[in-house]
Structure 1
Amino acid sequence: MRWFGFGFNAFGQIYVHDKLIKGECSDAVKQVKVISPTELASHVDRSDCCLKTDGQIRASWSRRASLHLGGDSCVCLGGFGAVIASESCGISMKETPGCKDAFISELYLTLAFPDRIESWDLQKKEKTPSWSMEIKTESSGPPLNLPLVPGGYIATKPPFYRPLSPQLKAKSLALSAEHAILLSASGAVYTWGLGSHGQLGHGDLTSEEQPRAVEALWGMPMSCVATGGWHSVCISDGGDLYVWGWNESGQLGLPSRGLRKAPQQQSSQQAATGDLYTWGWGDYGQLGHQTLISSDEPQLVEFFREQQMRVVDVVCGAWNTFAAVVKEEVACS
């Protein structure tokens, strides 16, 4: 499995160019926008940032955390504050072995170990985490993925631990900067936080301090949830996609008055398993269409099909995108 990135690269989140390594940023603007999918390891000759086959990516606006799984599991950072040294932001590779999951924001990196949770302040050069919590592995049920932890979840800023009602029986949780969406074990969807752009899905623009069920989805079991900056997404057990919230840049995949000035050309290509479609704001090339054009209609990222690659995972940063791919097997005639 190989990881590719495209979009915002001002801090070397996708690849590190020579000017950043030397600290010469006068013409770094030329490297800010990566409009074509670029392999993460192809421009980096440092062992601490070469993503392994079984790795995963976590992204914030200016940083990328590469999670190396397997026997030598650990985390390394790319992007702001992590361009030159492996001991970036006070976090050494030597202090992350055994890490099973990671969650990164602009201010903090949270690491999950089998027996504890640690949050590191990315603005300080401290050699110890700013907060930690011991955890006990639950014997029953599937393992929890960050930001979920036993009894609650980890927030992007203090207080890090936030309790959740045990009655919710959370299956997965997605956090944006200002709102949250939770999927329960029964398939019900709950949201809370800022509601000023309709991102909570309650039919108004009111904020909610506690999880509230999205009544419009009641009775339709969902299988996964995700958040954008001011919008929310979920997929039903039957494979239907539901979206709501802010659509100024077409990020909902619905007609946007700001973009839809003329009928857009429909793609005649038939979708295949492993194809990647993107839409929304594209000013930094984060849609992967090798342009800086925004779109309110899902469009195929041609690069991966042309390279006979099948996309198996996608991670969206604020202004960039990361995709994990495998080589498509071609049947011999």
Structure 2
Amino acid sequence: MRWFGFGFNAFGQICVQEKVTKKEIGDAVREVKLSFPTELNVAGRGCCCLKTSKISASWSRRASLHLDNSCVCVAGHGAPCSVAVSTCGCADAIISEWHLTLAFPQRIECWELQKNDTTPSWSMEINTQSSDVNLPLVPGGYIASKPPIFRSLSPHLQAKSLALGGDHAILLTATGAVHSWGLGSHGQLGHGGLTSEEEPRAVEALWGVPMSSVAAGGWHSVCISDGGDLYVWGWNESGQLGLPSRGLRKTSQQKSAHQAELCHDVSTSGEEQHEGEKSDEVFISIQGFPALLDVNPSCEIRTVSCGSRHTAAVTTTGRLYTWGWGEYGQLGHRTLNSLDEPQCVEFFSAENLLVVDVVCGPWNTFTAAVQKEEPELKNRSPK
């Protein structure tokens, strides 16, 4: 399995390209915007280990959990990690701008990234029966991105997985129900309004439709049903819901108008008709209730992840679709354009790769891919 990254790279969290002259040895040139997938595990371009099983990303850092020796490597701001911590035997890890949280078979540790402490800022012991930790969930609650680190959860929720957004949380229960709480100013809780919730509240619009996965962005949320359908809600200012965005369409129209001014054979009647068509468009700024998004009618969605204002989804056929804010190339389409509808990242098909996982940082995207199996030829009859 090979991991790729694209988008915001100002701290070298995706790749670091060394300067070549002797005078500049020891410094690093970092491309801030990577608009196409770049492989992480290449000499001089990221982690030292090759078998990466999981990635967690914050705004300026990336944490990679490696299969070969169950250790965690940190890339980006302040890397190598400044905390005096041994990660051997680690089973799971998540990183934020302030903390690195590690899950071991019998304990959870949280380290402050800005300090050189010799002991974790928070830790808890776990028994062997509850050692199957799915961060940020931990026995009895979950790990937050800032203090207080540990937040309790009612055992009646039967939490299966949890996604943390900018200031809200989306929880999936063992029965497939979705609960949300936190800031609701942009409809990101899915309850139809803009009010916040202090305690987990069921998303009633999804009742009767069991979900298999949840994800949360800065101000938007998504989930996947057992049938592979994708539901989206929250803020759509940058097209992160995959719904028509007035801001993006206005920018596109301005570019088109500028191009039309440079073209002398554009007829006035044609322009008037085009303007009339625009007036019938419906734009979505905030989607208060979950809406069904048809990413690709021919296949189901396997996994999904949210950045601050962009979204990425992998289909059951191994195709990666991205949409939303693209200012740093985090959509992977070799441009810095934003999109308000899902678009397939063609790089992986061109390289004969199938995408199997995706993880979004706030302004970048990381994907895991495997080589496509070549068609079997042994059963073909010779000509």
TM-score, normalized by the shorter chain, greater than 0.5: yes
Tell me which of 315, 333, 346 is aligned to 1:289.
333
1:165-214 Cα deviation digits (max 9, x unpaired): 11100011011120000001111100000011100011111111110011
- Is residue 58 from structure 1 mapped to residue 51 from structure 2 by the alignment? no
Partner-residue secondary structure (3-state), 2:247: coil
Please report how far the alpha carbon of residue 41 of structure 1 lies from its aligned counterpart in structure 2 after TM superposition.
Answer: 1.9
36-45 vs 58-67, which moves further: 36-45
Aligned to 1:110: 101
Tell me which of 124, 141, 147 is aligned to 2:115.
124
Give structure 2 stretches of 5+ with no counterpart: 254-277, 279-294, 300-315, 378-383
Contact 1:51 1:66 in 2 (8 A): no
1:4-55 Cα deviation digits (max 9, x unpaired): 0000000001111226x96757x75xx1001111101225277xx2343252
Aligned to 1:298: 342
The 5 A counterparts of 1:1-333 are 1-18=1-18, 24=27, 28=30, 31-44=31-44, 49-70=47-68, 72-82=69-79, 86=80, 88-92=81-85, 95-138=86-129, 143-261=132-250, 273-333=317-377
* Cα distance in 1 for residues equivalent to 2:335 and 2:185: 31
Instruction: Name the amino acid aligned to 1:248.
Output: E
Change over 3 Å in CA distance of 1:304–1:270 after alignment to 2: farther
RMSD of Structure 2 on Structure 1 (CA) = 2.4
- Normalised TM-score (structure 2): 0.78
Give structure 1 stretches of 5+ with no counterpart: none
Contact 1:252 1:296 in 2 (8 A): yes
Instruction: Name the amino acid aligned to 1:55.
Output: S
Change over 3 Å in CA distance of 1:188–1:42 after alignment to 2: same
Partner-residue secondary structure (3-state), 2:205: helix
Instruction: Name the amino acid aligned to 1:131.
Output: W
Change over 3 Å in CA distance of 1:99–1:289 after alignment to 2: same
Change over 3 Å in CA distance of 1:174–1:270 after alignment to 2: closer
Sequence identity (%):
68
Please report how far the alpha carbon of residue 128 of structure 1 lies from its aligned counterpart in structure 2 after TM superposition.
Answer: 2.0
* Cα distance in 1 for residues equivalent to 2:25 and 2:198: 46
Aligned to 2:266: none
Change over 3 Å in CA distance of 1:136–1:109 after alignment to 2: same
* Cα distance in 2 for residues equivalent to 1:260 and 1:216: 29
* Cα distance in 2 for residues equivalent to 1:150 and 1:135: 7
Contact 1:17 1:43 in 2 (8 A): no
Please report how far the alpha carbon of residue 144 of structure 1 lies from its aligned counterpart in structure 2 after TM superposition.
Answer: 3.1
* Cα distance in 1 for residues equivalent to 2:101 and 2:76: 16
For the pair shown, the structure with the greater C-alpha radius of gyration is 2
Contact 1:64 1:78 in 2 (8 A): yes
* Cα distance in 1 for residues equivalent to 2:194 and 2:45: 48
Please report how far the alpha carbon of residue 127 of structure 1 lies from its aligned counterpart in structure 2 after TM superposition.
Answer: 2.4
Partner-residue secondary structure (3-state), 1:289: coil
The runs of at least 4 consecutive aligned structure 1 residues that moved more than 3 Å come to 21-25, 267-272
* Cα distance in 2 for residues equivalent to 1:241 and 1:55: 25
Partner-residue secondary structure (3-state), 1:258: helix
* Cα distance in 2 for residues equivalent to 1:223 and 1:268: 18
Partner-residue secondary structure (3-state), 2:82: helix
Change over 3 Å in CA distance of 1:5–1:23 after alignment to 2: same
Instruction: Name the amino acid aligned to 1:106.
Output: E
* Cα distance in 2 for residues equivalent to 1:253 and 1:114: 40
Partner-residue secondary structure (3-state), 1:279: strand
Q: How many residues align?
A: 316
Partner-residue secondary structure (3-state), 2:128: coil
Partner-residue secondary structure (3-state), 1:89: coil
Change over 3 Å in CA distance of 1:163–1:292 after alignment to 2: same
* Cα distance in 1 for residues equivalent to 2:25 and 2:237: 39
* Cα distance in 1 for residues equivalent to 2:87 and 2:188: 35
Instruction: Name the amino acid aligned to 1:74.
Output: C
Please report how far the alpha carbon of residue 3 of structure 1 lies from its aligned counterpart in structure 2 after TM superposition.
Answer: 0.4
Please report how far the alpha carbon of residue 270 of structure 1 lies from its aligned counterpart in structure 2 after TM superposition.
Answer: 7.3
Change over 3 Å in CA distance of 1:42–1:221 after alignment to 2: same
* Cα distance in 1 for residues equivalent to 2:211 and 2:296: 30
